[in-house]
Amino acid sequence: MTILHREWLRPPSWLRRFGQGLRRRREGGVALVTVALMALVAVGADFLAAERPILLERDGRLYLLANVFDYDELRDLDNGSICGEMREGDWALLPPVPYGPFQSRVGGWVQPLEPPDRDHLAGTDDRGRDVLARLIHGTRVSLSVGFVAVFLYAMLGVLLGGSAGYYGGGIDHAVNRCIEVMMAFPAFFFILTVQGLMGSTTVIQLVVVIGLTRWTDVARLVRAEVLRVRAMDYVLAARAVGLTEWRILTDHVLPNSLGPVWVTCTFGVAAAVLTESALSFLGFGTPPPTPSWGELLTQAYENPQAWWLTLFPGVVLFSTVTAFNVLGEVIRDMIDPRLPQVT
């Protein structure tokens, strides 16, 4: 006699399926590690590259986290001058890259456009700022633009596409027209002109502009999926049991429609990171002096002899974009196992 355990009927969890997907495609692991590292760098940017020490004992006073907080006494000092004025009993814990992203000393002991050496592992840019420090802090800008913009448009897309697919009728019509209109504008070109019209003032503005432009893909996907799921028997069953419309939508229709959204969003982060850096490259992305990969590449374009300005930001940008694209593929395989032979 066989006993049916509830556990056997339950589908494998998301995490489990993701693990299986990773095992099938080895490069997925590399991508995941890359993304995790990038996220760590973004979160801990202040501890990796900062103008002042993380811990500092000076004149008998202990300064905690001087890299994050501003102390009045240390305002005019940086790692270099602090270490230069060390007295008996003073000590400091410096971040691995002892320069801030804005720290610039043209004409001082830091020269503009200095090739990589022991002091500056990735050289300096045209204002004498440490390239590595700017790369590290640029990671924070790029990833947050990528994630927040995608989050924004995923929300918008699910909301609009979901209600279009579920309620149909006039809403569906209106949303479809909106999608058609937004798709008529070449996305990057449109974002560029909007940035140009409004002027690049804040990073938040850039995020909102990307978010409001790129929601159409998600909305189309969700709409089609909701249309498919709505016709399923289990939705009919849920209705027969007497669940409220809201409950059916949130508990049964949406969870089963959102699979493809994860794929689009993962690719979307790569696209948003690329958009941000391309805009910054053209000078209409993040406002200066925000550290940004694209901005470093502008300098590379203007100073062709400075190979380190081309190489390092390029490698970082390329690996981030590739990592998110690979991850997107892994997630797609996981959601639709029929597809892997296609790729």
Partner 1 sequence: MSSFVWRRLWSMVPTLVGITIVTFILIQLAPGDPVTIELEGGMRAGSVSARVVEDFRHAFFLDLPLLVNLHPMDVEQRVDRRVADLGHSRRRAEAITRLQGIGGAALPYLIPRIEGTDGDIHDGVMHALAGIAERIGMESELASASQAEVFWREYWDVYRLDYTPGRAHRLVRRLVRRDDPLARAELRRLDTYAYTPLIEALDQGLDAEQTTRIITMLRQVRRSGPTVNADDDESARADTVSAWQEWWRRERSRYEPLGRAGRITAVVTETQYAKWLGRVATLSFGVSQRDGRPIMAKLAEKLPVTILLSILSVLMAYGLAIPLGLRSALRRGAWSDRVTTLVLFFIYSLPVFWTATVLIQGVCGVSGPAIFPLGGLVSDGAEQWSWWRRGLDLAHHLVLPVVCLSYVSLAVLSRYQRGAMLEVLAQDYVRTARAKGLSRFRVIVHHALRNALLPVVTLLGLQLPYMISGAVIVERIFNIPGMGLETFEAIRSHDYNWIMAVVTLTGVLTMLGILASDIVYAWLDPRVRLDGLDEGEAT
Which residue number, 43 or 208, has a Cβ lying nearer to partner 1? 208
* In contact, 325 and 30? CB cutoff 8 Å: no
Position among 69, 228, 244, 251 found at the interface with partner 1 (CB under 8 A): 228
The contact mask relative to partner 1 for 203-222 (x = CB under 8 A, - = no) is -----------------x--
Dist. CA 50–CA 278, nearest whole Å: 26
Binding segment (CB under 8 A) for partner 1, from list 1-9, 149-157, 196-204, 238-246: 196-204
| Radius of gyration of the chain from its Cα atoms, rounded to whole angstroms | 25
What is the three-class DSSP state of 109?
Answer: coil
Position among 64, 155, 181, 232 found at the interface with partner 1 (CB under 8 A): 181
Q: Which two structure tokens, joined as six digits, stand for 252?
A: 């049964």
CB of 309 to partner 1, least distance (A): 9
What is the three-class DSSP state of 63?
Answer: strand
Residue with tokens 């959102």: 258
CB of 168 to partner 1, least distance (A): 9
CB of 165 to partner 1, least distance (A): 7
The contact mask relative to partner 1 for 258-287 (x = CB under 8 A, - = no) is ------------x---x--xx--xxxx---
By CB under 8 A, how many residues form the interface with partner 1?
56
What is the three-class DSSP state of 57?
Answer: strand
The contact mask relative to partner 1 for 288-317 (x = CB under 8 A, - = no) is ------x--x--xx--xx-x--x--xx--x
Dist. CA 81–CA 60, nearest whole Å: 17
Task: Identify the DSSP state of 49.
Answer: B
Dist. CA 225–CA 303, nearest whole Å: 49
Q: Can residue 147 be called a binding residue for partner 1 (CB under 8 A)? A: no
- Among the listed residues 96, 61, 131, 104, the one whose alpha carbon sits nearest the alpha carbon of residue 312: 131
Which ranges in 187-232 belong to alpha helices (H)?
Answer: 187-198, 203-213, 215-230
Contacts to partner 1 by CB under 8 A? 165, 176-178, 180-190, 192-199, 201, 220, 223-224, 227-228, 270, 274, 277-278, 281-284, 294, 297, 300-301, 304-305, 307, 310, 313-314, 317-318, 321-322, 325-326, 341-343
